[in-house]
Structure 1
Amino acid sequence: MARIDFLRTAMKDITQTGSVWESSRFLIRKLLDPVDWASAETIIELGTGNGVITRAILERMNPDARLTAYEINPEFLELTRDRILGDSRCTLTDESAEYLEDLHPAGSVHAVISSLPFAIMDEALQESILRQIHLVLKPGGQYLQYQYAPTKYRMITRRFQRVRLDYTLLNIPPAFVYSCTK
């Protein structure tokens, strides 16, 4: 049912969601495996969708770790809330990723995991969000982002000293995963 809910919500405004289907377990594994879960205490998720990635993050997190999950779509926010079942380690917010630096001190975050649809966002907004992600990450912090085309590689490599690009065909559509270290 969650997949149908995702499709129904996504089709209302594809320019906001950037996808028509929830992330596969194969994409989720590629996205989350690079995170150093043993030391990640403060985690941000940008764009929860229906919460399938949020749930997987919570399953990997330490009991003392904290997740702030951003989702501007009210229907997706509700689907995520239902999926996380009141896990107290997670704070859901309807704030935009545009305000990261206002909500998190510089150098305070261990990992940022993003599903934001950069390919369909205004370039100035993309640059602003990437700058803020870099700002809030601790030295050695990790930024993980998936996209359906590797068109933002140059933009991302200008911000991060180490960038690894991977992909999975086992997703609808197939996806590229950026794994970046500050």
Structure 2
Amino acid sequence: MIRISHLVHERLMFLVKFLYSPAYRFLAKNMIESIPWSEVHAVAELGAGTGAITQYIPYAAEFQPKVLLFEKDQSMQQSLKRRFPNYLCYSDSRELQLAMKNAQIEQLDCIISGLPFFNFPQAMRNQIVEQIHLSLRDGGMFVAFQYSKQMKQQLGEWFDIEEIKFVPMNVPPAFVYVCRKKA
């Protein structure tokens, strides 16, 4: 009886978090379509949440890349581990370099982010953006969604911003930053 109750509670929590997740279908599709998957051998997703974007990786990639997922929420992380057993999961995006070393990945071809940078103190934003920059190969892609253009200046200092797409069909509407690491 306790096991069933725990399972029901876990599924309800997942459903609630999914319904309130900002990464809905249009946004996820928009982000995934921005990535040149034929060039991707290793990818990280920061703030993977419910896996709304993660679920598209196996279908978009031409071959199976190495995938690192980062999610701070423990229940969501456990769910990601169950849904994507071939992907490695970590808690802290500020430890991206350490996770890569553990996974024997020298450089990433792409980093996808659903992190709410607006909610982070500037020092934390700086740490994460630096980790992203250090982890990407020259010319590697950084694709992130945000609810404002607040990060435009900071990202422009580290990356070439190729495009900022507006996704009005998301709730709330979002911006997708398509960036490339400067060579």
TM-score scaled by length of structure 1: 0.83
Identical aligned residues as a percent: 26
**Counterparts of 1:107 and 1:142 in 2: how far apart (Å)?**
15
**Counterparts of 1:64 and 1:107 in 2: how far apart (Å)?**
17
Q: Does 1:119 pair with 2:112?
A: no
> Counterpart of 1:161 in 2: which secondary structure?
strand
**Counterparts of 2:88 and 2:26 in 1: how far apart (Å)?**
25
Instruction: Write the letter of the residue equivalent to 2:75.
Output: E
Output the aligned Cα RMSD.
Answer: 2.5
The structure with the larger Rg is 2
Cα distance change on mapping 1:150 and 1:3 into 2, 3 Å: farther
Q: Does 1:92 pair with 2:89?
A: yes
TM-score scaled by length of structure 2: 0.83
**1:7-53 CA distance string (max 9 Å, x none):** 6348xxxxxxxx93342211012111111111200000001111111
Where does structure 1 lack aligned partners over 5 or more consecutive residues? 11-18
Q: How many residues align?
A: 170
Contact kept? 2:46, 2:70, Cα under 8 Å? yes
User: What is the match of residue 104 of structure 1?
Assistant: 100
**Counterparts of 1:177 and 1:162 in 2: how far apart (Å)?**
11
Instruction: Write the letter of the residue equivalent to 2:97.
Output: E
Q: Does 1:63 pair with 2:63?
A: yes
Single out whichever of 157-166 and 104-113 deviates more from structure 2.
104-113
Where does structure 2 lack aligned partners over 5 or more consecutive residues? 1-7
User: What is the match of residue 129 of structure 1?
Assistant: 128
**Counterparts of 2:35 and 2:122 in 1: how far apart (Å)?**
27
